[in-house]
Amino acid sequence: MEQAEFTYIATQGPLHNTVNAFWRMVWEYEVTLIIMLTQCIENDVLKCNQYWPEDNMQWDYGDLTVEGFNETKSVNFTRREFRLYRAHTNLNRDVSKINSKSPVKDQPKRIVEQFQYTAWPDFGCPENPEQMLKFLAKIRSYYPYATKPESPIIVHCSAGCGRTGSFIALDQINENIEKSSVVDIRGIVASLRSARPQMVQTQEQYEFIHEAAGEMIKRELVRRKILPDKDTEYETTKGRRKRKLSLLTSTNTNEASDTIYEKRKTRSDHVAYIPMDVMSTRSPPDTNDSQKDK
């Protein structure tokens, strides 16, 4: 399996006593992209502090200043841009009141982007892969796989385990599908869990990764004109994902020989048609951790 080109930093969501260290990590590793997979408060429980300033505001975090600008909201995610400065003051400032000749304006700065996905429920998964794949596609429209990264990508949820691991696994799977013909889902998840305990924590998350991978593969085969372009219908009933796929076949026997499909059922009753050269298993490497996803 081809190794992913992108390097990730999986971390917990910043809290009031760790937010300065979080931005120091962003500065020291020259990070330009942050993926946030939680809301600050979920089910009346604090999951992550708001560690960024609003638009046209500057907040100081230790010796770093973060200026917020250009926030755009979509249905399931929000994109924000920040300017990051080295600072030597401890004031929160309204940027609109700063003189253009202020020393702060002359400081060397970096641009950091944050994508916050807001439709991943606590202790669960997105209702269907479509939402997450649109989110992933939007990120990669700004950071394509073909561009060799110069800095790691920070990914966090609350504890930095379940949702974080699931997203990183999906991003690596998507990159491998684009670059090669073999995707080792179990191997990717096992590798993540060996690097950071409890990455991809639940059976439901593991099944969701397989479901999303099946859709990624189908789209790639359609893009390569190996399969006809047919829509996939999704519906959700009583919190259980159900997937309806038409069995896609190729009229060209040479193409069909390269795209043999195997029908797989999982405990969540979704049915996926996945190329048989995709190495996978129904059971995750180890999902018996006592702590659930945060």
Q: What pLDDT does 289 receive?
A: 47
Q: Which two tokens stand for residue 281?
A: 């298993």
Alpha-carbon distance of 76 to 93, in angstroms, equals 30
Could you tell me the domains of the chain?
8-231 (3.90.190.10)
In which band, very low, low, confident or very high, does the pLDDT at 18 lie, cut at 50, 70 and 90?
very high
Per the listing, tokens 């990264």 go with: 149
Alpha-carbon distance of 205 to 12, in angstroms, equals 18
Which residues are designated catalytic?
Answer: 157
* Residue 77, beta-bridge partner list: 117
Give percent above pLDDT 70 in the chain: 67
Determine contact, residues 90/62, Cβ cutoff 8 Å.
no
In which band, very low, low, confident or very high, does the pLDDT at 6 lie, cut at 50, 70 and 90?
low
User: Which position has the higher pLDDT, 242 or 19?
Assistant: 19
Q: What does the mean pLDDT of the chain come to?
A: 76
- Map residue 131 onto helix, strand or coil: helix
Alpha-carbon distance of 10 to 230, in angstroms, equals 36
Q: Which two tokens stand for residue 72?
A: 């755009």
Alpha-carbon distance of 269 to 231, in angstroms, equals 20
Direct distance between the N- and C-terminal alpha carbons of the chain, in angstroms, rounded to an integer: 30
Is pLDDT of 132 > 60? yes
Q: What pLDDT does 280 receive?
A: 40
- Map residue 138 onto helix, strand or coil: helix
Written as one string, the DSSP assignment of 194-231 is HHSTTSS-SHHHHHHHHHHHHHHHHHHHHHTTSS----
Q: What pLDDT does 94 receive?
A: 53
Which amino acid is located at 20 in the chain?
A: N
- Map residue 125 onto helix, strand or coil: coil
In which band, very low, low, confident or very high, does the pLDDT at 229 lie, cut at 50, 70 and 90?
confident
Burial class (CB in 10 A: 0-12, 13-18, 19+), 155: buried
Is pLDDT of 38 > 90? yes
Among 46-55, 90-99, 169-178, 191-200, the range scoring the smallest mean pLDDT is: 90-99
Alpha-carbon distance of 13 to 36, in angstroms, equals 8
